[in-house]
Structure 1
């Protein structure tokens, strides 16, 4: 394992890389470096467009170079079998700009992950598109697999900022009306809104034939509530402020957060969607493994 490459999976390290294209490249290279020496070695082979040899496959298609490295039989997949269309959906809610003591805001963490996933998909020749939204869709790039698509996606992400209120459910419905190709839909959001309409929209996407991964991105402080004493808290979307005793509300807050995430996890599991809990202190490979797991399951 190359520790020099793998260090870029850490948010505090990637923060020192200014350009988003390099962030994406370094995250993916660090991820693959780690996979080669991990229990997920099969995913690194999957990334190279191979699949495990199975009864009925033609033995002449066995890749003997891969066999020499892994001591397992893999065959090269044909391109027609391996394409998966993906869409990255980025929530531009003002609350995504929050950070307490981490180097990256929730939004910056999300676009680093989205950029890395776009990098992976384009290099696998998978069509990938991008949707950014707040109360309405702000940017929409149809899914394409050309190398130039990566530059297009990165250009939009690099100039996008979280701005104000958001309408997650409404924009998921708009997306479903826009995109007729069955796709892998990857939503990046803190989900700080009423959960029922969002869950209904996720169910609708699944019924339309889309695969769905919800990347629930929270700030590390929102997950662990490290505050002490009297705290002045502000709702970034309503701008309401309140002075609270941190010790007095800690348990109530953490219980509410747990209940929220459990509601989403249970609802997603019921309809066959994936719900991935992330916070801004976590290494990026948690999300990348989830994406490759989804991808592998489709074939």
Structure 2
């Protein structure tokens, strides 16, 4: 199944709805033969205790089983509203060997999660950002919402510089009720500013998943000889000896990922590192394992 869900294979399919359906079908088929039976987390009628919740609602039986605090959810709380938040900056359009760009990868993954949420009858919406935040599609659970999401995703093109911190802060200010924020970005900005804005999302009571998407060349650095690199957002160029620079670069990119991973762990944010060579069923399974490990 993995080969059929590789970015190279899916790139041959032009329609986003067909790509997303293939990803979801392959992912769900894979779950039947794995220990992860189902998409929902444990205690579907509970949620984690957050400061400010009424202590009287703590389920002590759940605490005895898990050593973690949960509060019982009322019927109105059982449907979780989700927003797909996509980085639309020009750097997301990068690809090393004319394979799927970071943005195309993010779009396929976002479309798949939209399908999964609507299968659970959860409202899902869409936002994009580069230098500013764009509220593209309000979250709804009505019939046809997936089609609207996919149509909106299909019209998007990455362009412009990015201001992740400001835009994520705006998301935190816009959404008043408890929401699942699914952020898709290469996070190419100031880690300190990005992490501070993610902390605002958590302090506002939102659940957050960060899909950190890099091109496989950005992770593995398969270059040789004298190479000139250009920043796609600023146009600035730098020339380096790739062979001499490789070890330092790989150390730096690993540190970059680890910094975000550590911060997300401290904030109880799910951090999913991906590159554009990873099959989509594996990407979704990585996400599911992260979610279940927190319960």
Query: Are the aligned partners of 2:3 and 2:279 in contact in 1 as well (CA < 8 Å)?
Result: no
Say yes or no: does 1:147 pair with 2:143. yes
User: RMSD in angstroms over aligned alpha carbons?
Assistant: 2.6
Q: 1:8 to 1:178 in 2, by over 3 A?
A: farther
Correspondence for 1:65 = none
Correspondence for 1:264 = 260
Q: CA deviation at 1:156?
A: 1.1
Query: Are the aligned partners of 2:202 and 2:267 in contact in 1 as well (CA < 8 Å)?
Result: yes
Q: CA deviation at 1:290?
A: 4.7
Correspondence for 1:186 = 182
Query: Are the aligned partners of 2:272 and 2:287 in contact in 1 as well (CA < 8 Å)?
Result: no
5+ unaligned residues in a row in structure 1: which ranges? 57-77
Q: CA deviation at 1:204?
A: 0.8
Show CA shifts across 1:186-222 (max 9, x none): 1100111111111001111111111111100000000
Query: Are the aligned partners of 2:117 and 2:123 in contact in 1 as well (CA < 8 Å)?
Result: yes
Q: 1:11 to 1:270 in 2, by over 3 A?
A: same
Q: TM-score scaled by structure 1?
A: 0.83
Q: CA deviation at 1:85?
A: 1.2
Say yes or no: does 1:43 pair with 2:38. yes
Query: Are the aligned partners of 1:137 and 1:171 in contact in 2 as well (CA < 8 Å)?
Result: yes
1:252 pairs with one of 248, 272, 282 = 248
Query: Are the aligned partners of 2:85 and 2:182 in contact in 1 as well (CA < 8 Å)?
Result: yes
Query: Are the aligned partners of 2:44 and 2:78 in contact in 1 as well (CA < 8 Å)?
Result: no
Correspondence for 1:132 = 128
Q: CA deviation at 1:151?
A: 1.2
Correspondence for 1:229 = 225
Which is worse superposed, 131-140 or 276-285? 131-140
Q: CA deviation at 1:170?
A: 0.5
Higher helix share: 1
Query: Are the aligned partners of 1:90 and 1:188 in contact in 2 as well (CA < 8 Å)?
Result: yes
Correspondence for 1:157 = 153
Show CA shifts across 1:200-251 (max 9, x none): 0111111111111110000000000010011111111110112210011111
**What SS does the aligned partner of 2:145 have?**
helix
**What SS does the aligned partner of 1:43 have?**
coil
Cα distance in 2 for partners of 1:109, 1:257 equals: 20
